[in-house]
Chain A
Amino acid sequence: MKARTLYDKIWDAHLVKQRDNGTALLYIDRHLIHEVTSPQAFEGLRLAGRRLWRKDANFATPDHNIPTTSAERRQGLAGIKDPVSKLQVHTLDENCKKFNIFELKMNDERQGIVHVVGPEQGATLPGMTIVCGDSHTSTHGALGALAHGIGTSEVEHVLATQCLIQKKAKNMLVRVNGRLMPGVTAKDMVLAIIGKIGTAGGTGYTIEFGGEAIAALSIEGRMTICNMAIEAGARAGLVAVDDTTLNYIKGRPFAPKGELWDQAVVAWKTLVTDDAAKFDQLVELQAEEIEPQVTWGTSPEMVASITGSIPDPALELDAIKRGNIQQALKYMGLEGGTAIQDIKLDCIFIGSCTNSRIEDLREAARIVDGKRVADSIEMALVVPGSGLVKKQAEAEGLDVIFKNAGLEWREPGCSMCLAMNADQLGAGKHCASTSNRNFEGRQGSGARTHLVSPAMAAAAAIHGHFVDVRHLA
């Protein structure tokens, strides 16, 4: 048999039909649903009088619109002040009830950001095809699943047919050799990858992340990497299955048990790229060379090392690129040539589907332990990715560390990653954020986002500007 990549193997296993016109029907094992991109899909299903194809493939939780303060959350739906947001969350509840779909509701202890909760519940399994009306669905590739975001028309298509019409993407391998240095994390690695290949570098590809540095990462770290595959233009990111994967999954509620587990493990161990398989493109990085990363502009590819500075647009020869840099610096209120460590912050956001898992919170807490947030910081939020992450963090006393340092400890949700709920950044404010997008207006109208790791965000909170976390003991 021809040598195949991991992507080839999952694709082949789910191919219902290859059509003559070049498209394929691909079977979908898991469909994750949240409140923002699903209401129109359910409505479409109802209007066309179509049935739901397979109820138990669906898994829902509200995350984008929900409030993150305890006082509001205690009131349930009534705690959502914005009536439009409230209706959207209510609509998800109603649709799940009507179609008999599994839902972790707003105040369920297991609720959270769908990309945190899916893996946590074992609803994400190796070798699955997973979709969700959300571009960060790529996160689930960390467990060796083929996972990507879809639009609402496709959400409806999956509800009605359990399939997607797809064209196969090309294969790219991003290999990170060596080992990360202390203080440098998965977030820095993925920002460095995006800095190298650009935000469209992965367009048309499924990226497999491999190499010694990826294999050494925990599942949480791999999720951070795959989460941002979309920021490099690739709809899906993947990491091969190994013992780290299997150990993470074992015993989770949706994972198979007993004899079925043993059978699954045999199958899952084949979910690696064959040695002789060919990739259409190979990108290599050396982990030791990666320093803590900070974005300075309005696209994730506008990134520099903590020891570096903002590029001077005058030195850019390409006119379009020069224009992009000028536009970004104007929006960010920054000058070319400024040292990254001289960028001052007003706000700190630790959370999002990129960095809100227990490991991220431990990393941030270690930095702020026994210290105080700088006086110049107006707002510093820590938003755990799920109710279970929050519970675990509280059991370890992390909440107390954060609160003592002057950070706010919130309830789980997407929060200020996209600022759809009340957690918004003011115009002109600079935020050190552990999220995934630094687009104009992303965290609030006129708001200025700098993407960093949890440790770097925590260090910036204490110092009021960016500092090299490697030098903090």
Chain B
Amino acid sequence: MSRLGKAGWALFFLLLLVILIGPAIAPNTATHPVGPPYAPPSGRALLGTDHLGRDMLSRLLLGGRPLLLTSLAAAAAGTLAGSLTGLVAALSRRRLGAWLMRPLDAITAVPPILLLLLCLTALPNRTGLVIAVAITSAPLSARVARSAAAQVAGRAHVENAIARGENWSWLLGREILPLVAGPLLADFGIRFVAAVYLVAAAGFLGLGASDTDWGRLIVEALPGAALQPVALLAPVIGVAFLAVAANLASDRAAQNSRGLLA
């Protein structure tokens, strides 16, 4: 598994690099037609053209960055909100903890994709997308943070610190956070994978992070897939690679963080 994990990290960072510098190296604009519709790959358009004759390669390179950054922002917002709630719930009195967690449980009952659609109907823009993804991931992050912190809070060294009168900043910053940081980071990886999924799905619905969102490229290429399969294959592979690489990387982070408390 560790070889796969390393390959995952390597693939992940390579992809990150390509995606981040993508808009700078795109040979054409996203909107300008460079040839006939559904033209097969050629010297002028390496991945062929789409249904309006636009350059697929440029559209792909331009669409990656918004997808990635939106997913990162959404996952970070969700993990942060969730972790804070979970930590407070774990360290406060039992009844308050339960009251903090209960509304979050109601949210987990709804499939994430439905929550996404609900938020996007009401707020069809990038902010809505980030909020939607953050809302779906916060409850799960809260659970992870709560159980990780609860495990740590009962440990003898934390009680010892309480008994010798340490203040909150020492308790949280020195006793608890160093031990839950691993699980929280691993959790962030998982939330990021889920965020890529949802942001790509929003793009697929035409409500994504940009007009060249990879999900949107897929849906646009579907009708002409028989004529120009590369236009479908390229974004499909892009999303699949990003999802798989993020997943492998987060899986590895999770394995590294395990065993810390053993």
Q: Do A and B share a complex?
A: no
